[in-house]
Structure 1
Amino acid sequence: MTALLDTPPASPAPPKRGRALQIAAAVALVAALVFGVLWLTTLTSAQRSLAEQRDDVLVAARQAAISLNTLDFHDVDGGLDRWEQTSTGAVLEEFRTNRAQYAQFVGESKRTTTATVSDAAVSELNEQAGIARVLVGVDVQVTPDGQQPITTRQRLQLEMTHTDDGWKVSRLAPVRAPGATG
Structure 2
Amino acid sequence: MTGGPDGTDGSESAGGSVDTASTDAAEESAEASRESADERTPADGPDPADGPDPADAGPSVVVVGADESAGGSRRSLLGRWTWGLLAASVVAVVATYLSWSGADDDPALARAELRDLAIIEGTAAVETMNSMDYRDVDAGLEAWRSVTTGVLRDQLAAIAADERQLLADQGKVATGRVVEAALTDLTDRTATMIAAVEVTVADKDPAQEPTVKRNRYSADLVLVDGEWKLENLGQVPVATS
Q: Same fold (TM over 0.5)?
A: yes
Q: Does 1:104 align with 2:156?
A: no
Q: Does 1:62 align with 2:129?
A: no
Q: Tell me how far apart the structure 2 counterparts of residues 135 and 89 of structure 1 sit (CA, whole Å).
A: 19
Q: Does 1:138 align with 2:197?
A: yes
C-alpha displacement of 1:102: 4.0
TM-score by length of 2: 0.54
> CA distance change for structure 1 residues 101 and 166 in 2, over 3 Å: closer, same or farther?
farther
Residue identity over aligned pairs, in percent, reads 26
C-alpha displacement of 1:100: 3.0
Q: Which stretches of structure 1, 4 residues or more, deviate above 4 A after TM superposition?
A: none
- Is contact 1:134-1:157 (8 Å) kept? yes
Counterpart selection for 2:216 from 136, 155, 161? 155
C-alpha displacement of 1:178: 3.1
Q: Tell me how far apart the structure 2 counterparts of residues 58 and 102 of structure 1 sit (CA, whole Å).
A: 31
Q: Tell me how far apart the structure 2 counterparts of residues 54 and 101 of structure 1 sit (CA, whole Å).
A: 40
Q: Does 1:74 align with 2:143?
A: no
Q: Tell me how far apart the structure 2 counterparts of residues 99 and 52 of structure 1 sit (CA, whole Å).
A: 39
Give the partner amino acid of 2:181.
A
- Is contact 1:80-1:99 (8 Å) kept? no
Query: Larger radius of gyration, structure 1 or 2?
Result: 2
C-alpha displacement of 1:167: 0.6
Higher helix share: 2
Q: Tell me how far apart the structure 2 counterparts of residues 57 and 126 of structure 1 sit (CA, whole Å).
A: 10
Match of 1:30 in 2: none
**Aligned pairs, how many?**
138
The unaligned stretches of length 5 or more in structure 1 are 1-40
TM-score by length of 1: 0.71
Q: Tell me how far apart the structure 2 counterparts of residues 102 and 176 of structure 1 sit (CA, whole Å).
A: 26
Q: Tell me how far apart the structure 1 counterparts of residues 201 and 144 of structure 2 sit (CA, whole Å).
A: 18
Classify the secondary structure of the residue corresponding to 1:75: helix
Match of 1:19 in 2: none
Match of 1:177 in 2: 238
Q: Tell me how far apart the structure 2 counterparts of residues 165 and 131 of structure 1 sit (CA, whole Å).
A: 12
What's the CA shift string for 1:54-100, capped at 9, x where partnerless? Answer: 00010011100111011101111111111000000011011011253
Higher strand share: 1
Counterpart selection for 1:124 from 166, 169, 185? 185
Q: Tell me how far apart the structure 2 counterparts of residues 109 and 118 of structure 1 sit (CA, whole Å).
A: 26
